[in-house]
Structure 1
Amino acid sequence: MNYWKILIHPRLTRMRSENNTPKVCCPQNRMSCTQDMVKMPTSIVFSNKFNKYMGFSLEERQRLNIHGLLPVCVRSTQDQMYVLESNFRSIKTNIGKYQYLRIMRQGFERLYFKYVSEHVTEVLPIIYTPTVGMACLVYGMLYRGISGVYITKYDCGHMVDVLLNWPDRKSVKAICVTDGQRILGLGDLGANGMGICVGKMELYTALGGISPEKCLPVCLDVGTTNANLREDPMYIGLREDRLQGKEYEDFIEEFIQSALKAFGCETLIHFEDFATPNAFKFLKKYQDQCCYFNDDIQGTAAVGLAGLLGIQRITKIELQDHVILFCGAGSAVMGLTALLKKELKARGLADDELAKNIYVYDHKGLITKKNENIPGDIADFAKDMAPIKSLEEVVEKIKPSIIMGATSAAGLFTEKILRSMAKNHERPGVFAFSNPTNKAECTAEQAYNFTEGRAIYSAGSPFPPVEFNGKRLTPGQANNCFAFPGIVLGVMTAQAETVPDEAYLVTAHTLSNIPSPEDLASGKIYPDIGCAKAVALEIAIKVCEYLFKNGLARLSPEPEDIREHILKNEYQLDFCSSLPETWEYPEMEPNPKPKPKPNPTPKEQKKK
């Protein structure tokens, strides 16, 4: 039921005299009048979705029967934003700020998203990397109420029923799901992984303008291998070892089919922080079956490729002529190398040509043809050369112009490595993708100091600017928030049945072209985080155009102006009136009085 429709028209609170003229209730008959009044339930008025707190006008307070429940002061949206900002900045620790924002999110939805959207630079490191990682470590202690759906291995056969327990089930159009096995670089956090899905979907709204009622975070609680968590009295998940093998794969299959059955075949299913082998297995299985997306693989790949294209813009050296060294063989690198192959093939390079200048290094050393069990498509980049264990020796040997790390090995890019790259290249590219900050392969300060300030440096988490020889150097942030909100918005707008790899190439090129020539001159290959919402819109438009052009969109008819269509349908961050619109009617003719029936005659009575 839409409770707002039962609000009583102001005229109906008045009485009418016998000659149909209105008269105001007097104190004597006030009690009898109120017995006929329809009151808005206070629980609805102050619900997370509709609560304006002290933003309710005096008229709204009286009409909604909440007058007196709030102080007399009426605060504008900006006044309330100022209060929220003052409280947020008064908290000294990041985890404390995270707790405060969780409270705001659960009590003041629209105000919360407006604050996040307008303070992205300040808030993003709290609700996303790096603080969300710390929050997931202690999620049981921070848990304050319903934020998503948990499905355990004991819900097999009933997953549809569990999903349909979600209060806004009729509105759900996107799901972000994790099994918590590989949360950032922190390992298996089990049910605590819900914090990641919540954070991702909040950026759907704050940056992509997608209504929060369309978003459903889901945690698949299949146990955890983390013994410390299982013994933690505050842990909120199953205290059992993780489900594996065929039983685990059947569990995922039932979830996918249940989600499509519960919410429709056009529902976007976003997989997040699954272990690398599982992530690729499910991507290969489901990408062409449904509207499926893996941000760790595909979102990271789009952002990483955008960075490579940015270095191409700065150095004026074609991408295929750069010597690129990838460190790590997990989902991020595997996804990025696969997308890079598609980019180079689109440029007309043959398989042997595109692999010539690309090297991959993992914990065992440089990947060569002598390696066994090489994961995924990385085998295409295995080199016919002697194995090298030391990364420093690899750098000295192949002289990479670009090095990318996604290893969670803090300090992997040593002073010797960085100095070696600076010796061989005027503008070496250095990417330290690992999250959170303390897992980065090198810091911005190290990258600039050991390359004489010439490095084109970007990281997965934010680093502060660095002063070098009187020059202020601002590191780039290769953050997935530049990709997934726009990808998701474009896909949902077009109502795509599937999301092909080419959509991520579109994303990468769109993102790489956003920095201005002035940005490039200062070494910036990514936009400022504060521009993330504008970036999401541009990516959504390009992705949407691609889907329509290639017959992958279900929305009909195609909008004449996609930008206008998206903006018209985006989630509104500003408060509107809480009262339904009313309008005047002319005075209506009174209903005619029924004519009295004549008394029956004796003959008619006898017939009866």
Structure 2
Amino acid sequence: MDFRRLHPLLRLSARPLLSFCRGVNIYDDEMDQIARPDWHLIMDGKYNKGLAFTIKERQRLGIMGLMPCSVRSIEDQMEAARTNFEARPSDISRFTYLSAVHHRHRRLYYRFIRENIERVLPIVYTPTVGDVVATYGLNFQHATSLFISIHDKGHIRDLMHNWIDDGVRAICVTDGGRVLGLGDMGANAMGISLGKMILYTALGGLPPSTLMPVCLDVGTDNQSLLQDPLYVGSRIPRVKGPEYEELVEEFMQAAVKCFGHTVFIHFEDFATPNALKFLDKYQYKYCCFNDDIQGTGATGLAAFINVERITGLKLEDTVFVFVGAGSAALGIANMLVMELEERGISYEEATKNIYLMDADGLLTCESPNAPEQAKRFVKPMEPVKDLLAVLEKLKPSVLVGATGIGGLFNEQVLKTMAKNHERPAVFALSNPTTNSECTAEQAFTYTEGRVLFGSGSPFPPVVINGKRYTPAQANNCLTFPGIALAAITAKARYLPNSVFSVVSHELARNTTQEQLDAGTLFPAIKDASKVAFNVGVALAQYLFDNDLSNIYPKPDDVCEFVKKSLYTFEYQNSLPATWDYPEQPPTPPAKTQPEIDPQEKKKKE
């Protein structure tokens, strides 16, 4: 893209400006004949290498002298970035620093995240992303995303043509209806879409120029946002009903018209009823995916498969209690049912041992407010409201929390789980950290270190009686980058539920036996990029093998095919390629007509 379009000042050449400032040598014929690239474009984050530009590149690109003569390798720049990152006093200031690096040096930014993922993930993703969302208006600086408001209805295609990059292949869209455990965050939820897109590149290896984060700004019912003078969104109550659904429909149609029918559309942080509604409506019409339901479901199922490997207790014989009946809990529970049915278990048997609780207690046939999508899990039994009573009555070996209520799994709850089972499994999935149902320290302490634990937010290792326990993070970053990589690379037509079983089993296989022996249910976050690639290859293979790809013929080597599509985290030569041409023979002199004698000409006439 020609960034000189963005502002009239960018059309000015640096050379005439310098001449004007000097007041002499206004016109220099020798300099005037040299064509120089626009330095604004060279210094754009997409192309800028900073001190990694070689002297030859600086001279040829006309930027020599605009920076010190020192030349740094990308490794040197990584060390400088690491020093700057660690020098910041808080996580939110570290996020701000990284955002500035992204604006100036895009390739360095993604490499820094990829190579320091354990340290950086909590900054660009949960839990710090919760603070980013809460303060989004305060920290908004420049356009890196696309906002579509309810007032743009009828003109969404026009907005998409304003996007800063061509060749979009993936979109992450949110309406901010239910962000983490924070609730309705309106247009501030763009921070979530941006965070997902960062991990698409840093872990999945997808080129950032092919990604577009989107927020559908349909207002908010969050009164604190509506009264916040720094709020960036529409100051109207959240639009619902037909007008809202028509906006989403227009968005979906505009996306495929602008970017093709294989564009991958990732739904993020829609309120549960809307998330389920749109997934049901669009799953087989578009190449789309809901991370809160399907990504969380695939991650949760992988954990259950590994619990089965550790304890030896078959999933069909395991009693599960899900506390929370939102999109995350329903996604995992439905994925579990699908897995059991794949094993030949009948639907009735598959749902028999899966129990859900909401704010009113255990979901039973008498529950008045049971969500429609959860009714397959209601049980013909007396209602029980108290969690501790549910645990005593049902004695589940797997307890899953997706409530957003911090501290819900208290000492009595955890000790009851440990009393009933030798290796209880407890999942505190709510984000950010303050909303986690329990901490890792509480889980290991109150179960005497016997718990198989997974959390949505990261927790440090726990030491009990001299033994060190490393908590597993049940983080969707282990699944959605690989899902996106496969869908985009294979140009998936749509993503049926069966693909997420492939994802779950591949993720479970990436957990080593050594990790399982230590009670760890997931691969280490430091290996997230390797896991994303493995998941991407396994899923792409499935898409090709099951006629779900728009690419024909199928590649002979799917692994190599996927590898060739990956973003390069190294600097390349910034100069166009040059090559030798053979010396051309001299141009023959032009033929001239012989002069005609005037007398002869007169005779002819």
Q: TM-score, normalised by structure 2?
A: 0.94
Secondary structure in 2 aligned to 1:360? strand
Partner Cα distance (2:517, 2:50) in 1: 47
| 2:540 pairs with 1:544 | yes
- Please give the secondary structure, in 1, of the residue aligned with 2:274: helix
Alignment of 1:305 onto 2:307:
no
Judged with a 3 Å threshold, the aligned counterparts in structure 2 of structure 1 residues 591 and 131 are, in CA distance, closer, same or farther, namely same
Distance 1:289 1:605, change over 3 A: farther
Q: For the Cα contact (< 8 Å) 1:493–1:555, is it kept in 2?
A: no
Cα distance in 1 for partners of 2:334, 2:565 equals 34
- Aligned-partner Cα distance in 2 for 1:533–1:184: 23
Q: Which residue in 1 is equivalent to 2:342?
A: 346
Contact 1:498 / 1:552 at 8 angstroms: preserved in 2? yes
Whole-angstrom distance in 2 between the partners of 1:436 and 1:2:
40
> C-alpha distance in 2, partners of 1:300/1:560?
32
TM alignment of 1:106-185, pairs within 5 A:
106-168=103-165, 170-185=166-181
Report how far residue 35 of structure 1 moved: 2.3
1:108-160 Cα deviation digits (max 9, x unpaired) = 10010010110000111000000001110000111110111111111111110
Per-residue deviation, residues 2-21 of structure 1 (Å, max 9, x unmatched) = 99xxxxxxxxxxxxxxxxxx
Which of 45, 62, 81 is equivalent to 2:59?
62
SS at match of 1:177: strand
Q: Which residue matches 1:486?
A: 482
Q: Does 2:386 align with 1:390?
A: yes
- Distance in 2 between residues matched to 1:575 and 1:218, nearest whole Å: 29
Out of 324, 328, 334, the position equivalent to 1:332 is 328
Deviates further, 331-340 or 295-304: 331-340
SS in 2 for 1:573: coil
The answer to whether 1:476 aligns with 2:445 is no
Deviation at 1:598, TM superposition (A): 2.4
Relative to structure 1, the CA distance from residue 139 to residue 607 in structure 2 (aligned partners, 3 Å threshold; closer, same or farther) is: farther
1:451 aligns with 2:444: no
Alpha-carbon offset, residue 604 of structure 1: 5.8
Q: TM-score, normalised by structure 1?
A: 0.94
Map 1:255-266 → 2, pairs under 5 A: 255-266=251-262
* TM-aligned CA deviation for residue 241 of structure 1: 1.0
CA separation in 2, counterparts of 1:2 and 1:440?
46
Q: Contact conserved, 2:2 with 2:41, CA < 8 A, in 1? A: no
Note if contact 1:432-1:458 (Cα within 8 Å) is conserved in structure 2: yes
Q: State the match for 2:363 in structure 1.
A: 367
The corresponding residue for 1:575 is: 571
Equivalent pairs, count:
582
Q: In 2, distance between residues paired with 1:592 and 1:425?
A: 96
CA contact (8 A) 1:152 1:222 kept: yes
Corresponding residue SS for 2:352: coil
Residue 466 of structure 1 aligns with an amino acid whose one-letter code is V
Cα distance, 1:48 vs structure 2: 1.0
SS at match of 2:564: helix
C-alpha deviation, 1:54, in angstroms = 0.7
- In structure 1, stretches of 5+ residues that fail to align are 4-29
Aligned AA for 2:198? E
* In structure 1, C-alpha distance between the alignment counterparts of 2:581 and 2:568, rounded to whole Å: 31
Q: Deviations over 1:426-461 (max 9, x none)?
A: 100000000001101111011111111100011001
Q: Distance in 2 between matches of 1:326 and 1:604?
A: 108
- 1:461 paired residue among 457, 462, 469: 457
Identity %: 48
CA distance, structure 1, for counterparts of residue 441 and residue 324 of structure 2: 22
C-alpha distance in 2, partners of 1:253/1:566?
31
- Tell whether the 8 Å contact from 1:548 to 1:558 is kept in structure 2 after alignment: yes
Q: Structure 2: which amino acid aligns with 1:63?
A: R
SS in 2 for 1:135: helix
Structure 2 residue runs of 5 or longer lacking an equivalent are 4-26
Match for 1:274 among 252, 267, 270?
270
In 2, Cα distance between equivalents of 1:236 and 1:310 = 44
Aligned 8 A contact 2:190 2:214 in 1:
yes
Deviations 1:73-113 (A, max 9, x none): 11110110010000000112111111111111111100100
Partner AA of 1:62 in structure 2:
Q
Q: CA deviation at 1:222?
A: 0.9
- How far apart are 1:606 and its partner, in Å? 9.7
CA distance in 1, matches of 2:148, 2:50: 34
CA offset at residue 232 of structure 1? 1.0
Matches within 5 A, 1:64-83: 64-83=61-80
